[in-house]
Each structure stands twice: as C-alpha cells, then as structure tokens.
Amino acid sequence: MYDVYEARFFEGLDAEHFDYGSGRNYLEKAKSIISSLARLNPTRYRRYLSFINSFPYNALIKTVYPKNKVSNDNTLSLIPEHCQLIPVIINNIGYYEIDGHVWYQLTENQKAAAIVHEAIYNEALMMENAHQNSYFVRIFTRHLLANSFKNMSLKNYLQFIQNIRLVQADAHGFLIALNHYDGIRSIKLPVEYWDEYSVKKANLYWNGKSSAHGIPLKYDFIRTSILMKTNSFVSFYPSHQVEIFKITIGPGFNSSYERLNKFDLSKIGFRGEMIFNYIHFSNEGKILSVRYLDFFPIGTLLKLDFPGAKIEVVAKQPLFLARLEATPFESIGFTNVSKNICQEQLRDYSTNWKPSNVDLSRKLISITLKKNAFLPQSIEKIEWCD
C-alpha cells in the first residue's frame, strides 16, 4: 500500500511497527485504527465510523482489465523500480469502485488501512477542504497506523489537523474552524491556547450545536470567508467553561428565524424570551450579558411578559447592526440610541404592548426593570421616543 511504503521516506514513522487494529476482519480493524480519534475529536471519529460502516453498501467490486496504471495524483512519485502503481479503489465521494482482482489478494490489514484512507479522503474531497490529491490523506492515515494520537495533546492535534488542511475539529464540545479555503488556497485561521490541553479562543465552524451552563447554543450560517474567518467565535476560561459565544449573521443567512438561538429570560429573573447571537458568562457560569448583533431576519426580537402587560419588539424589515442588550436584573433596551435620533434608528421596529393605552406609533427605546429581590419583574421605567 502506497501510504505505508511512503512512510520510510517521510515523517520518521516506523512502518514495520504500524498497528492495523484489532478484530477479525478489515471493517473491525478499520474501526479500531480510528478509535484514537474518539478522545480528541469525537465528531470526526463518528463521521469516519459512519463511512466505514457504510462501505460494504456503497462499494462496487468488479473485474478491471486492462489494469489502470494512470493516476491523476501527481504526488505518487516514489514508485520502486520494476513495480507498477495500480489504483485499487476509485473514490467518488462515498461511492467506491473496487478492482476485485486486486482487492481479494489483499490481507485484512491492508484492506483496513485502505478503508481508513478512503474515510479520510471522503472528508478531504468535500468542497470546504477542496483537496486536489491524496497527499495529506496519506499523512493522516500513516499517523493513525502509528498510533500518533494516543497520547497527543489537544493543541498538537489541532495544529496537526490545521497543517494537513482540514477545516473542522472539536474543542471543549464545540466544532471549530481551523482553515478556510478561499477558492484558490487554504488559509490557516487563528487559534489561541491557554496551554497544551486548553483552547482559549477559536473561530466557530459554520454548523453545529452545543450548550453552556444549561443554555443551548446553535451555530448555522452560510459558509463564507467573512463569517468563518473573523466574526463567529467561542472563547473559554482555563476550566474549559464557555466565556463568550458569538455568531455573525449576514445577508446571506441561510437558516429560518425559528432556528435562531432563543434565551429564556427566566434564567435572569424575568418572564419572556429574547433572540441572541452573543452571550457572555462569568467563570462561575453567571450570565454577564446577552445581546443580538448584526443582521436580523424578520421576526420577534424580544418578548416580555408581566402581570397585566405583554411587550413584543419586532423588526419589520431585516436590519444591519441592530444591537439589543440584556444585562441581568438591570435593563433590556437598545444601546447607542438617543431620543434625538431614535425615530431614524428604530423606524423598522414595531412594538406591541397588550393590554395598554400607550400610543403604538411611538417607538420603544428601553425598559428598566426595578431591582427588587421580592418583585424582580416590576417595571421601574419605560422610555419612548417623543
């Protein structure tokens, strides 16, 4: 197998002592080979496990004659004298054409290594990774066979994945983005670390879900360089607890309003609900700030429910740079808005208060909620535009 033969020339790995996994057949062995990923990168492990389990159902074994000795991979250049390069598996991103004459001559170990290679290659061929050959796939395969990840630190693993130009990995329960393919080249994204085993800050991957202190956190936005490169991130305390979670929503937003993050205000002493894409926790898990930033699709931004009164703030049209902030037990309101300019800045918001005798043509600026241990839901002040 070329991945194994190539090891003697690169990376200092001892192919004579490669571990081809435990099990009675190549599928069991392949699952054993990738098992070292479960600790460092459970999402990738489950993805590869799914590829391996589905392999027998997506493979077409046939007789190939004459043998195909041509490959479109120009990195396969170390062919020994008097040897031929014969592609055994043609990977069509999850559907495999196999040269049966060669396949049945392989040992279970060789088959297992080949299937692990194809599992990695499925990911490498995805649009977000856009690998043009199997060079980095072979490196990953060899390191799995060498058990390189058994005792590897999280920092070293993430740097390894970044160096082989794959986009996503796991960090403390979140999918993060390590690289971005801009259509021409792969660009490394910044990752900050507290130590070898702790991430401090990283860009979020374009799609995933997690939680922090009992609050579900979803991230599902369009794959663009702006969103994955700069403005969507998660940061952690050294304890691995979430500090800040922030996703950027832009005009290319591809999720429905119903899939946005919603915050139950009872967690900070009020009745109601707020849409958010930014949340800041203390090291002890207290909520320091909840905000909605950037573009907002049509829908209800804020609901407040008090005895005898209900308030809803709705964006009639999608807005850019709409900033709403909730600070526990103090206020819920629009920041950076003065009475002189409120009509201009809030013209695309509507406010409903039921039941109420207020003039609904006037626009809400902010609500200040009285600090009272016995009556945390009492309203102290409501500001409106003149």
pLDDT digit string, tens, across residues 173-203: 999 999 988 778 888 999 999 999 999 999 9
Whether residue 216 is preceded by a cis peptide bond, meaning omega within 30 degrees of 0, is no
What is the per-residue pLDDT across 135-146, written as a single tens digit (0 to 9) for each? 999 999 999 999
pLDDT of residue 298: 72
pLDDT value of position 373:
45
SS3 content of the chain, % helix, strand, coil (to 5): 25, 30, 45
The residue ranges of DSSP E strands in 222-277, in sequence order, are 233-236, 242-246, 262-264, 272-275
Nearest residue to 93 via CA among 68, 115, 126: 126
| Better pLDDT: 17 or 360 | 17
pLDDT at residue 16 above 60? Answer: yes
pLDDT, position 85: 85
Q: How large is the angle between the packed helices 135-145 and 108-124, nearest 10 degrees?
A: 130
Tell me the two tokens of residue 38: 């479960």
How far apart, in Å, are the Cα atoms of 288 and each of 250, 261, 347, 376?
A: 25, 17, 29, 17
pLDDT for res 355 = 47
- The radius of gyration of the chain's CA atoms, rounded to the nearest angstrom, is 27
Residue 289 confidence (pLDDT) = 85
Highest mean pLDDT among 32-46, 51-65, 307-321: 32-46
Question: With 60 as the cut, is the pLDDT of residue 6 above it?
Answer: yes
How many Cβ atoms are within 10 Å of 161's Cβ, its own excluded? 21
Determine what percent of the chain is predicted with pLDDT higher than 90.
48
C-beta of residue 70 within 8 angstroms of C-beta of residue 35: no
Tens digit of each residue's pLDDT (9 = 90 or more) over 327-386 = 655 566 665 555 554 544 445 556 665 544 445 455 666 666 655 444 444 556 666 655
Over 80: is that where the pLDDT of 306 sits? no
- What interhelical angle do 26-34 and 135-145 show, nearest 10? 90
pLDDT (0 to 100) of residue 278: 92
CB neighbourhood size of 328 (10 A): 17
For residue 83, pLDDT beyond 60:
yes
* pLDDT value at 7 more than 50: yes
The average pLDDT across 263-277 equals: 83
Decide if 70 contacts 49 (C-beta within 8 A).
no
Instruction: Look up residue 171 and give its two tokens.
Output: 């960090």
Q: How far apart are the first and last CA of the chain?
A: 77
Provide the 8-state DSSP code for 287.
Answer: E
H helix or E strand, kind and range, residue 268? none
pLDDT value at residue 304: 79
Residue 231 has what DSSP assignment?
A: I
Give the number of other Cβ atoms within 10 Å of residue 331's Cβ: 16
Question: What local confidence, expressed as pLDDT, does residue 357 receive?
Answer: 44
Of the listed ranges 238-242, 274-278, 377-381, the one predicted with least confidence: 377-381
Q: Which of 260, 258, 378 is nearest to 324 (CA)?
A: 260
The residue to which tokens 């907002």 are assigned: 296
Q: Using DSSP bridges, classify how beta strands 96-99 and 59-62 pair: parallel, antiparallel or unpaired.
A: parallel
What's residue 375's pLDDT?
45
Distance in angstroms (rounded) separating the CA atoms of residues 19 and 241: 36
When pLDDT is averaged across residues 67-84 and rounded to a whole number, the result is 77
pLDDT for the residue numbered 11 = 81
| CB 4 within 8 Å of CB 142 | yes
Task: Give yes or no for residue 224 having a pLDDT over 80.
Answer: no
**At 63, which amino acid appears?**
T
- Closest to 34 measured CA to CA, from 23, 278, 272, 360: 23
In sequence order, which residues have a C-beta less than 8 Å from that of residue 355 and are 6 or more positions away?
A: 308, 309
For the ranges 92-96, 133-137, 264-268, 346-350, the one whose mean pLDDT is highest: 133-137
The mean pLDDT value of the chain amounts to: 82
CA distance 13 to 211: 39
pLDDT category at 117 given cuts 50, 70, 90 is very high
β-bridge pairing 215-220 and 168-171: unpaired
